[in-house]
Structure 1
Amino acid sequence: MTLLVLVGAVTGFRQAVQRFEVDVDRDGWKVRIGRYRRDVRWPEISAVVLEDRTLGGRSTRVVLSVYLVPEAGVDLGAPSDLLAAVGRRSAVRLFDLEDLEVEEEQFLQEIADLAGDRLDNRSYRLNRARLHEDAARIVLKQGKELFDFPAGAEGVRTRRWLNRQRFQLFVGWYLFALVPVLLLTGLAARLSELLGAVVAALGLWAVVKAYARFVMMFSGATDLVENRVAVSGTEVVRVLNRSHRHDLHGGRAVVLPPRTRRGYGKAWLLGFPQAGMLLGDPRTGRLRDQADLYLLSAVLHESPYESDRYAARKIDDLAVQSQVADPVEPGGGGDARLWIALTRTGRAVAWAVVVGSILLTGAWLLDSTRFLGTPVLVLGLILTVLWAFYALYRIFALLGALWRVVRGNDRPGSSEE
């Protein structure tokens, strides 16, 4: 059986058409690429590798490349432009399959028959059908919880980054929204109580809107980071304090690139169409584990809606780019919970400054006006009571997180070696 590949290629420098031929049979490979002429026998070959390769440029795309990995001590004499690395092994890149007018499945079948055990198929594109079939069958029957993401120390860093963004926005909201409204209310009330009341009402509306628009900007990403996610049947289920369900077969799934939704940083998102699940880390842009992306894609490919299947194909592309070889730094689970509880307790301190500012403004208006100071002071007192309950809740949450960390460290085998 012989697999013959014959195509024309245009060299960038000479702008001339070169023909190259790769002839594969039971004896080995006959390679004619430009000036490279080599007959490679099967005993000289350690592996024939099929691997997806990402090409840059104006639009990123993924192609399937074919590599020859020589046996130890064998030099194939390839020119530098054909040399490559597959994992930690040196290899010769022969061609990209998109350059050939051949069906991928047919190519795989023929090369597998010739290479035998030497074939190393690392291509998600060629394995995709089998992976989708297996994953979809398991998920649709049993469901599966996805890995925490971001996990370990990376998750701790992402939570810190999100909290820093929120704190900076909170400070900006206090300095450039709340404080000016309080000052303007006081100054307007000195001129006219009616004018002061109008400024106070409009200012309250503006302050609340500014808080919802800016300070809460990263709350959606924070919720998605802290949620536990599972795929159950055809639904994505997110659980934190309560569950949220999104139908993967509802015709609403869409893959959102980074920066298309404010407050999610560099993260790729799976939306319905609003952001419903993180496909990437908001801080670094690192993609989810390939296994999770495969699983989501498998379920979406079974949808009766083309929009869902299109989202599946986009996730397929992301799965190829996912950094499976980049290990997640472990640890930090208990410390992360303690740090998050400590940060949220610190928010009570920040809100104490806000409530104190409103009380001071109420006292100022009480001395300088006849009527306006009383409602502002009452509002401040109501907020003080609410703040007291909030502060107690955060303190008890902090003590609970500290207790869980201490108990975890006291358990046999809980210490890290």
Structure 2
Amino acid sequence: KIAGYWHRYMVIGKRETPTKSKLWIIRITKTVNKALAQPGRQMDWGIGRGLGGRPGDRDSGAPGDASSTASGAYGVSIEDDEDRLAFPVGENAFYVDSGQGTRDLTMEWRVFRGIMPKLAKKQAVSAEQQVAKAPGAKEAPAFTECGPSILGLKKQAKTGGVMLLGEMHGTQEVPRFIAQSVCQLVTSGMPVTVGLELPVENEERVTTFLQSPGGEVDWLKLMEAPFWRSPYPDGRGSEAVANMLEQLRQLRAQGLDVAVFVYDHPKLSGQKREDALTQTVLAQVKVAPQRFHLVVSGNVHPRTAKGLPWDKQYRPMGYLLKDQLDDVTALDMAYDSGTAWICAADQQGRKLDCGVKEAKGKDNGDRFFVHTWASANQDGYHGVFYVGHVTASEPAIRKGLGNPDAAPAQEPASAP
């Protein structure tokens, strides 16, 4: 209490990213003398000060005096009752009248100067200890912005573990989820290897690109592969995937321990393809058992349960990996309704029709998260990874080189 006024501080904090927050300190001033009361609060709209009863009894007796009336209430006026209720009770009391709140910038600055040196010192020590530095890198950043924390991700990421993500191809959000996941894991000390469902013939191109400066020539070498120029682009060669490769390249260029491999065998089909996918992924995991492997594919391959509706003996990649590795987690994609670049058979069933199509999902908010169940479901999934509202991502080749910074492809000029 200062000079007849009570001051109470309300502190509001808002977390915007894992490394950035806002703090507001509001000073609320209260007093019983109504000096700051809003206009009109003191007006008496009644013909008398009493609260009711017979006219002869309304103003008799003292406030609260039971001898004046049968109930003791007729002698209490509205103003008297307000004064009684307005008197502060306890340190957290708020008063009926008279209150103003204003942002206390001086107090905010004092708090900032008081806590920042300690936070900076703590962050520098933990960052130096936790960041996964790439082999051969001279240095790694003590801090990298990785976007809002993905809830439940780090709990599932373990050394030697394999997380299989079953996606719907052709969205912007899944590649963004992957890049964000990798960033958050490597900056917390976990070396990560990403497995992409791209043809194994592209292994050298992808590896070379990740180790390059990311210039125009580097993009040309990556994008000249037939995979990116397929007449039936199914979403795996989307602009969002190209953006993801660029983001992973930038993380590696900073000295963080990020690796990528590809494992698809498009010339095979059915069970033979599943067997080949399994052997390629298994070889990568066994070569680097100290790393966490994040393997992305369509949502049939990651299933850890035997059988499909059309083939009860079918053994997906996830089912085969589960028998040979100790830690395999399969997550199905969950999303809010939107659009996706999808290739599906046309109405006649004669050829593939690729384009932007509606995708029906369920709204669980905007924030990415990972959620696991107590046991796997009938499809062999242990949980879901949620990416929010989905938006279609067109083939990267439509953006020229596929470089996120490249200008859109120009239409050829017509002959005069």
User: TM above 0.5, one fold?
Assistant: no
Structure with the larger helix share: 1
Q: Which structure has the higher relative contact order (CA within 8 Å, separation 6+)?
A: 2
The structure number with the bigger radius of gyration is 2
TM (normalized to structure 1)?
Answer: 0.20
TM-score (norm 2): 0.20
